[in-house]
A and B are shown apart, each in its own frame.
Chain A
Amino acid sequence: MSMFRSYLKAQAFHEGRAQPSATVRHVHLSHAPLVFVPLRMAGEAAAPLGAMVGCDRAAPTLLVVPQPRNRELRFAFATELAAVVLPYIERFAGETETVEAKTPYERCLDAPQILVPNPRGVAFSRLLGRSTRFRRTSGPYAVPPSVPAFGQWLTFLAERAEHAGSSMFLAMTDVLAAHWVTGQSGVEDGTLAALLAWIAPPAGSTGHEAAAESEDPTRTPPAGPDTDPEFDRKVLQPAIDAYDASGSPERVEEALRRHLQPTWDLMWRAVDLLRGLPEAAGVSGRWERDRTALAREVARLGENPTPQGRWDSPVAAARRLAALEIAQQTYEAARAFDDPLAMAEYRVEGAAFAGEVVAVEADRRIVPPGGKRAVPRPLVTVRTGDPVRLAPGTRVFSPARRTQRKAEIVSVAGDTVTIQINDGMGQGREPAPGSVPSLGEVVCYTDLDPGGGRTPPLPALSDTPWTHGGPPEPYVPTDEDAQESWS
């Protein structure tokens, strides 16, 4: 954590209310997101117990597995869940546009957005995808075609969720914690109810009081995928026993509805809160990348509808890692560029500074090293109260002039910083109007680069060197994978 966030935590505790740490919303928010609150059987890796799912807050679909140890019932659950989720995804997968570029590419017009309560919900979905994508539609343990298709989509979405800035599959607690800082620790922030209690406590109560109330598992059951142990003992176990005796799932349904409904409501409250924030400038660009990723997956499924293998090949893994790193860096930089509160965090750490321009040498011209002609190289001096930790020679960027990519720090002396502008001033003898900050203007510079990040040169899959096992064999579905036990 940074000192900035630590201060906000203290301030939130002091005021009894969460402090905004963002002025804009940094995630895309769909008009009709699909909210998914899954539950799993305690002690099992991926045995679904039930879920509330749907796009309409007033009419969630409740799915239950009345006897979670029964494999048949689990696949029945997967089939029912697929019947809700697949049509939702396929609605977006079908509509694409061709984007004109050096190499034109396909992009979906819109993309699905699935919201789960917390990161464990994402992890559980990934396992659910893993346990369903290899199933076959014929032979032993046959399942309907929707089950493996659903598994492949879940796998794809869970993989996308690891990319910073992607909004197709989001954990609500992460999203909220990126926009508000509460007066409780990160451990408690992992609980959706406690987090919301701090951000939007009921009228008349403080975050302290509301969060304390939200910790009572009988009033606010855990947001899943794990259930409350007391609930398991006192409510669920008898309900499952009743199902075993009578064959009627009614009691299990009722128990899980009560367990899920509060979290379902909280999810939609969180959606409302996020809607209240204006969208950040970079969101639409990042959503375009999600739409492109979706179109690529549609194309992959069209060419070769085999499930994703269990492991990445070395080259694919290296590519993926590089892509994740770039996504992380550019997302962090874009956040700071789009949002002065996010930038403030970097200003405190000395990786950015803001202040008033106190001197400008706009007509300065020098002959650059190795050059022949004098070219404009204006100097701008900024007075700042920020503790600058950027060394002379560092390339810096400014949210106000995003096309200038080569400005550099010349000197730092006391509370003044002098910058030389090297590009983005037009073709003329004089810098184009507005391209050089003017006297008295308040500017902000940082070494964060939202346009940065280049994939390292990696060989094609077919050129994987022998040190890394040579060209990988493509994944071929096996009987063993298809019939893997799920107990």
Chain B
Amino acid sequence: MSRLDALRGPTPPLDHNARSIAALAANPACDRRAVLDAVGVDKNLMAVHLGYSAQFGQSPFAVVRTRQFEEIVRAGGGAGLLPLLREALGLSIDTARWESADESADEGGGESAEEGAGEAHAVRHTRTEALVARAAGDPGTAVVLDRLLLRLDVAGHEVHLEPGVLVFQAGERFHVVTIKPFAVVDGQAETGRVSAAAREAAVYVHAMRALLVRMGLAPDRVSHDVVLVCPENFSNVPTASLLDVRRELSVLAWQLARLTRIDRILDGLPSGLSLDLRIEAGVPTRPAADLDEAVSGIAARYAPECLSACEMAYFCRAEARSGGALDALGRAVRDDLGGVETVGAAIGLATGTRTATAGEQGVAERLRHIRKIYQETVAQETVA
């Protein structure tokens, strides 16, 4: 993995989180994202330095609200959480032990990036394994596991996952419990946010199952039903509902399997390539044009969905647009014009200025027909 270190330079790497893995899995053909994530570059800083202020910030109000709600749910060692879990899962337990895999950071935050991240990770991961093993060996006792550190193999590269979730075991089943600040009003929540939560939770379920397999336990002890804890209606009172993430899990597993192995991508990159921002006192000092050239050397697969999932999206969009790539117009457009790569080619086929290759015959014929009836119709209406 020294190649990754060489690409990154002296800056410490950023960890993956469920959101970044879900985003990567949503676009498995994007080498650029795969490399940047594997290297552990601060993509936000990179995008800003390249002149694309990613619209990724979170409002301070939302941050406060999220923290407040987490605190309410976790208050009293989970005293309020237990009845919710009991009801959502139909259990009849009275108590549950609360255990944390990160004893050093019980007070909020828990960012261990500063001091010897690698070492802290190892400690936490060992403790995670011990806690899970103990819980699995004692299925009669209900237990809530907090601040676990999970490991996942992504594109042949081991990543650490710092879950913002809890894991609950009762009976023989582990359930991932995810706390989200969006409201469930009369049993309904915003579809987009629920599916994002499901995709993220699926990453944790996947990683938990991988952990059980490594420990020689049956992976299906981790349930595909995730407990989603959200504020109810317009209050701060938490309510729990079950979210079946089987679909997200199978998509994730399939996409992770499809990811090109990172070393194979790295082999294709020019030697001497560097993604180092040359950060001095927190400020990138590398000339932007130079960095632009380096990043452009790694192939991207832009789709408009990236705009809400990747810090680099605006950079990649500009690149796609300047080349007139149909990707910039959306996946549906690309699919409709199957085989045609650029706007220029599509217009050329429609006007007949471009000769259709064997594979483009069908599309070309349809495009010419569309152009003809569109022009006829518009012309008629203008006359009328």
Residue ranges of A at the interface with B (Cβ–Cβ < 8 Å): 1-4, 6-11, 13-14, 20, 23, 41-47, 68, 123, 127, 130-131, 183-188, 208, 217, 227-230, 232-233, 236-237, 310-311, 340-341, 344, 347-348, 354, 385-387, 484-487
Interchain CA distance A2-B308 in the complex, whole Å? 24
- On chain A, the residues within 8 Å of B324 by CB distance are 13
Tell me if B257 is interfacial: C-beta within 8 Å of chain A.
no
Find residues 325-384 in chain B having any chain A CB closer than 8 Å to their own CB: 326, 328-330, 332-333, 336-337, 343-344, 346-347, 350, 366-367, 369-374, 377-378, 380-381
| Least CB separation from A341: chain B residue | B377
Convert B56-75 into 0s and 1s, putting 1 for each residue whose CB lies closer than 8 angstroms to a CB of A. 01111111111000000000
**List of A residues within 8 angstroms of B332 by Cβ:** 1, 6, 186
Are B369 and A14 neighbours in the complex by a CB distance under 8 Å? no
* Mask of B25-56 contacts with A, CB within 8 angstroms, 1/0: 00000000000000000000000000000010
Q: Is the CB of A233 within 8 A of B57?
A: yes
Cβ–Cβ contact A485 & B59, under 8 A: no
Asked whether A233 lies within 8 Å of B373 as measured between CB atoms, the reply is no
In the bound complex, residues from chain B placing their C-beta under 8 Å from that of A186 are 304, 330, 332
Q: List 9 interface pairs A-B (beta carbons < 8 Å), by A numbering.
A: A6-B333, A9-B333, A10-B343, A11-B350, A43-B61, A46-B185, A184-B329, A186-B332, A229-B62
Residue of B nearest to A14 (CB): B347
A344 touches B234 (CB 8 A): no
Q: Name B residues whose Cβ lies closer than 8 Å to a Cβ of A.
A: 55, 57-66, 181-183, 185-187, 190, 231, 233-237, 304-305, 307-308, 321, 324, 326, 328-330, 332-333, 336-337, 343-344, 346-347, 350, 366-367, 369-374, 377-378, 380-381
Bound-state CA distance A188–B307 (Å) is 9
Is A7 within 8 A of B66, CB to CB?
Answer: no
Min Cβ gap A24→B in Å is: 9
Contact A46 B234 (CB under 8 A): yes
Q: Which of A7, A41, A217 interacts with B55 by CB under 8 Å?
A: A217
Chain A residue nearest in CB terms to B308: A187
Closest 10 CB pairs of A and B: A43-B62, A45-B183, A42-B59, A43-B65, A185-B304, A229-B57, A6-B336, A185-B330, A232-B59, A187-B304
A227 surroundings in chain B (CB, below 8 A)? 59
Would you call B333 and A10 a contact (CB within 8 A)?
yes
Given A14-B344, A187-B305, A341-B378, answer yes or no on A41-B337 (Cβ-Cβ < 8 Å).
no
The reply to whether A344 and B374 form a contact with Cβ atoms under 8 Å apart is yes
Select A6's contact among B61, B307, B337, beta carbons within 8 Å: B337
A residues near B330, Cβ cutoff 8 Å: 1, 9, 185-187
Q: Are A130 and B304 in contact (CB under 8 A)?
A: no
B186 touches A7 (CB 8 A): no
A23 engages B381 (CB within 8 Å): yes
Min CB distance B48 to A, Å, is 12
Known contacts A387-B369, A485-B234; is-contact A43 B181 (Cβ 8 Å): yes
Q: How far does the Cβ of B95 sit from chain A's closest Cβ, in whole Å?
A: 29
Q: Are B377 and A187 in contact (CB under 8 A)?
A: no
Please measure, in the bound complex, the distance between the C-alpha atom of A233 and the C-alpha atom of B61, giving whole angstroms.
8
**Among the interface residues A41, A184, A229, which one has the most CB atoms of the partner chain B within 10 A?**
A229
- A12 CA to B161 CA in the complex, in Å? 43
Choose among B64, B366, B369, B377 the residue that contacts A43 (Cβ–Cβ < 8 A): B64
Whole-angstrom distance between the alpha carbons of A354 and B369 in the complex? 12
Name the one of B62, B234, B377, B381 contacting A487, with C-beta atoms under 8 angstroms: B234
Q: Which residues of chain B are within 8 angstroms of A340 by Cβ–Cβ distance?
A: 377, 380-381
Interface centre among B186, B234, B305, B321 (most CB of A within 10 A): B234
Contact assessment for A348 and B344 in the assembled complex, using a CB-CB cutoff below 8 Å: no
Q: Complex: how many Å from CA A9 to CA B65?
A: 40
Please give 12 more A-B residue pairs, beta carbons under 8 A apart, in addition to A3-B370, A310-B186.
A13-B328, A13-B343, A43-B65, A44-B61, A187-B304, A187-B330, A229-B57, A233-B60, A236-B61, A340-B377, A348-B366, A385-B369
Q: A13-B324, A14-B343 in contact; A1/B333 too (CB < 8 A)?
A: yes
Bound CA span A44–B380, Å: 51
Q: Which residues on the A side are within 8 Å of B377 (C-beta)?
A: 23, 340-341, 344
CB pair B329–A7 under 8 Å, yes or no, is no
Closest to B314 in A: A215
Question: Which of B61, B305, B308, B367 has the most chain A CB atoms closer than 10 A to its own CB?
Answer: B61
Chain B: CB-nearest residue to A11? B347
